């Protein structure tokens, strides 16, 4: 069963309360998403480490309930202008 975008967002925000999370359902099927996650917790981490942190917040659901996630991560100062609060 696919995951809903609000569930993905809630899981990430539970792990990183300061996170700004923008999720888009790429195909409208609830199975292929893109996500931008902006958090101070990513500071000093490599891109791979940042992505691992997000995957960890999803508690093993990648590849199962969540089939595909095109992930972009950033610290608040490096976030795209449109994603800054």
Q: What is the mean pLDDT of residues 72-79?
A: 90
Any alpha helices (H) in the chain, and if so which ranges? 5-15, 47-57
User: In sequence order, what are the residues at sequence separation of 6 or more whose Cβ sits closer than 8 angstroms to the Cβ of residue 24?
Assistant: 5, 33, 34, 35
Per-domain residue ranges of the chain: 5-83
- Three-class secondary structure of residue 85 per DSSP: coil
What topology is assigned to 5-83 in CATH?
Answer: GMP Synthetase; Chain A, domain 3 (3.30.300)
Instruction: Determine the Cα–Cα distance for residues 10 and 15; give it in Å rounded to an integer.
Output: 9
The pTM assigned to this predicted structure is 0.86
pLDDT average, residue stretch 2-24:
92
Q: Are 66 and 3 in contact (CB under 8 A)?
A: yes
Tens digits of per-residue pLDDT, 20-75? Answer: 999 998 887 777 889 999 999 999 999 999 999 999 998 877 766 677 888 999 99
């Amino acid at each position: 069963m696919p995951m809903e975008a609000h569930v993905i967002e809630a899981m990430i925000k539970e792990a990183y309360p300061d996170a700004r999370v923008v999720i888009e359902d790429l195909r409208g099927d609830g199975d292929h998403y893109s996500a931008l996650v902006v958090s101070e917790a990513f500071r000093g981490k490599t891109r791979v480490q940042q992505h691992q942190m997000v995957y960890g917040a999803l508690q093993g659901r990648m590849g199962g309930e969540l089939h595909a996630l095109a992930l972009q991560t950033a610290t608040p100062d490096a976030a795209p202008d449109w994603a800054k609060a």
